[in-house]
């Protein structure tokens, strides 16, 4: 069964060995980061959730490191970091994904666009590990980012 078809059939994921699941996880993230096949993002989210429940943090970190290397070398898009930043419970993975996403997001006239996108998800409660998201933003060591983070946190307590 090809990767695309397997991604569309979550009922089959439970029958995969850990090595097969890790390979599917990696391959789907590569395709997603390249935009080489258009899958419903919801299927990627379901696969990520399944991998969080099934794969150890070390196995997910191995996949993360490989995707991150591709992003840093310009072979994969920064979008490969989104699921790691939003859905992983591991603080090391999340904070590193946030740093990479914010740093690699094309500027498009706003040098803080990546940071603002991360904060948008944070403010809407879309992050599994919000503390690690803030840690990742703090690791950027940029006063402008710190001001945005402070404003975002203050806005949460206002509502």
- 109-116: Cβ within 8 A, 24+ apart: 112/144, 112/145, 112/148, 114/78, 115/140, 115/145, 115/148, 116/148
CA pair distance 91, 58, nearest whole angstrom: 12
pLDDT at 33: 87
Give the predicted TM-score (pTM) of the model: 0.88
Q: Is the pLDDT of residue 11 over 90?
A: yes
pLDDT confidence band for 159 (50 / 70 / 90): very low
Please tell me which residue, 153 or 146, carries the higher pLDDT value. 146
Give me 94's structure tokens. Answer: 């999340």
Q: Is the pLDDT of residue 152 over 90?
A: no
Q: Is the pLDDT of residue 157 over 70?
A: no
26 lies in which domain range? 3-158
pLDDT tens digits along 66-123:
999 999 999 999 988 999 999 999 999 999 999 999 999 888 889 899 999 999 998 8
Domains held by the chain: number: 1
pLDDT tens digits along 20-64:
999 999 999 998 888 766 667 788 999 999 999 999 999 999 999
pLDDT at 56: 97
CA pair distance 149, 147, nearest whole angstrom: 5
């Amino acid at each position: 069964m090809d990767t695309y078809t397997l991604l569309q059939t979550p009922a089959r994921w439970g029958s995969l060995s850990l090595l097969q699941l890790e390979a599917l996880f990696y391959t789907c993230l590569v395709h997603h980061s390249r935009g080489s096949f258009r899958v419903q993002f919801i299927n990627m989210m379901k696969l990520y959730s399944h991998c969080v429940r099934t794969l150890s943090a070390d196995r997910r970190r191995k996949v993360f490191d490989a995707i991150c290397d591709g992003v840093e070398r310009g072979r994969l898009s920064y979008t490969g970091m989104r699921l790691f930043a939003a859905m992983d419970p591991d603080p090391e993975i999340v904070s590193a994904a946030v740093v990479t996403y914010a740093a690699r997001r094309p500027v498009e006239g706003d040098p803080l666009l990546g940071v603002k996108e991360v904060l948008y998800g944070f403010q809407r409660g879309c992050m599994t590990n919000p503390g690690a998201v803030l840690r990742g933003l703090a690791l950027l060591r940029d006063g402008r980012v710190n001001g945005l983070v402070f404003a975002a946190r203050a806005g949460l307590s206002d509502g």
